[in-house]
Structure 1
Amino acid sequence: MLSDGLKLAVWDVDGTLIDSRSSIFRAAVEAAHAINIDPPSYDQVRAIVGVSLFDALAMMRPDLDPETIAAYTHEFQQAFLRFHADPAFTESLYLGAEEALQALKREGWLLGMATGNSRRGVRRTLEKHGWDDLFDVTFCADDGPSKPHPHMLQCNLNALGVGTHEAVMIGDASHDMKMARQAQVHAIGVSWGFHTVEELQLAGAHDIVHDFTELKAALDAFTPEVRSEQKMASY
């Protein structure tokens, strides 16, 4: 049974909360060199960020067989392990991200996560930023089908007893917007990550914001009662 008066913000991570553009591209290039294939361009990499890693690399390189994709996946993961083992390595939060999360928590929002990262990557992120008590639930690539399948988002809703009209999905990629649409959840695209405004629009974003001030205003304006009255045909 659903509780009354809930509001849930489900967050993507890479490109939405954390500026990982450089590190993800670097990992993709280093991994390609490690298995002696042509390194990708940044545009090739940015197009697949948010999808579970094996599926993402297979999407980017459909010419490669599953064994090679598995090797590519492994080397990509190894590259990130090397990055994080370096004390000088940093991935910055986007300006305003921490403040927005803390404000929502104070205001009674539930916070969820739907990311293409592995469970290990999620744990590393939570520990690094002190978010263990901030997020109510987290779901990732290890928990089921990859974005844009709605599974991860539906897991957030089910775990917290939240209706589709009480939730928003916030992400920087078309995969996030398509996932939200399939789950019949309000889709907010952010313009500072991997995908362009046009790509977010084409993927069905209900709103697109350009900084965390605009995002917080959009969340402040979100009203579950109004959302529940909207026709699901619009999805």
Structure 2
Amino acid sequence: MKLVIFDVDGTLVDSQAHIVSSMAAAFAEAGLPCPDRSTLLSIVGLSLPYALAELAPQAEPHTLERMIAAYKDTFSAIRQNVGAQGFPLYAGAEAAVRALGARDDVALAIATGNSRRGLDAMMADWAFSDLFVSAQSADEHPSKPNPSMVAACLADANASAAETIVVGDTTYDMEMARAARCHGLGVLWGYHGRDALMSAGAARVLDDFADLPAALDEIWKG
């Protein structure tokens, strides 16, 4: 069985405005100056505690805990206010997932830096969520690029690393794939650029979701 593991933020879902707003609330809670938008988005993909520690290295542990709580509360409130329409799938994402899910030789999974609560809420709005045989969140695993989430997906799908491709928009996704001895496939509609993704180990980098099926088959053929 071949396996495709998708990242969520920046790969399937465009949530950058809500991430920025929630980060601003976290920094306001700590009374710290908020980094600029590009800096905030550069750490998308890391689990929240690691992301905030990276963005606010001067913050004491108790301050980071307050920031984490403020981020989660703000993000949850945004989700409740805007609903599914506020977390749109990227163009072509649903069609690509459904096409892969219809194949007998391919299983699908998710590995995200989102919390379990956030991931479950998001997937509850997807009419295609039942196509994923495994969905791993930051609450059960170390942060990317640790390969723990990939290992869980491999076990759930009964797939081998050699036949598995991680699809993501950040270097953390590509490094995670490499650490798990899987293939990495980068996408350019998220947060990290082509050169960074290739340097982190991406076998290919896509400009459009429509190119995904052909790119996957090309990697599998070796």
Deviations 1:127-169 (A, max 9, x none): 0112431111111101111100111111111222111111100
Which of these residues, 183, 187, 206, is aligned with residue 186 of structure 1?
Answer: 183
Q: Which residue of 2 aligns with 1:157?
A: 154
Cα drift, residue 190 of structure 1: 0.3
CA–CA separation in structure 2 for the residues paired with 1:73 and 1:222: 38
Q: Which residue of 2 aligns with 1:50?
A: 45
CA–CA separation in structure 2 for the residues paired with 1:218 and 1:149: 25
Q: Which residue of 2 aligns with 1:203?
A: 200
**Count of paired positions:** 220
Return the TM-score normalized by structure 2: 0.95
Q: Which residue of 2 aligns with 1:232?
A: none
Q: Which residue of 2 aligns with 1:147?
A: 144
Gaps of 5+ in 2: none
Q: Which residue of 2 aligns with 1:121?
A: 118
Cα drift, residue 48 of structure 1: 1.1
Q: Which residue of 1 aligns with 2:26?
A: 31
Cα drift, residue 62 of structure 1: 1.2
Q: Which residue of 2 aligns with 1:92?
A: 88
**Is the Cα–Cα contact under 8 Å of residues 13 and 88 in structure 2 kept in the other structure?**
yes
Greater CA drift, 84-93 or 13-22:
84-93
Structure 1 counterpart SS, 2:14: coil
Moved over 3 A (4+): none
Structure 1 counterpart SS, 2:179: helix
Q: Which residue of 2 aligns with 1:219?
A: 216
Structure 1 counterpart SS, 2:5: strand
Return the TM-score normalized by structure 1: 0.90
- 1:102 and 2:121 aligned: no
CA–CA separation in structure 2 for the residues paired with 1:126 and 1:7: 22
Q: Which residue of 1 aligns with 2:108?
A: 111
Sequence identity of aligned pairs in percent? 36
Structure 2 counterpart SS, 1:49: coil
Cα drift, residue 189 of structure 1: 0.4
CA–CA separation in structure 2 for the residues paired with 1:153 and 1:9: 10
- 1:169 and 2:129 aligned: no
CA–CA separation in structure 1 for the residues paired with 2:138 and 2:109: 14
Which of these residues, 129, 134, 139, is aligned with residue 132 of structure 1?
Answer: 129
Deviations 1:173-229 (A, max 9, x none): 000000001111010000110111121122111110011012222023342xx55xx
Q: Which amino acid aligns with 1:164?
A: A
CA–CA separation in structure 1 for the residues paired with 2:30 and 2:187: 34
CA–CA separation in structure 2 for the residues paired with 1:195 and 1:40: 17
Cα drift, residue 61 of structure 1: 1.4
Deviations 1:16-43 (A, max 9, x none): 0001111111110122113321112112
Q: Which amino acid aligns with 1:176?
A: D
CA–CA separation in structure 1 for the residues paired with 2:162 and 2:181: 8
CA–CA separation in structure 2 for the residues paired with 1:139 and 1:188: 18
Deviations 1:27-70 (A, max 9, x none): 10122113321112112211211111011110121111111111
Distance 1:99 1:118, change over 3 A: same
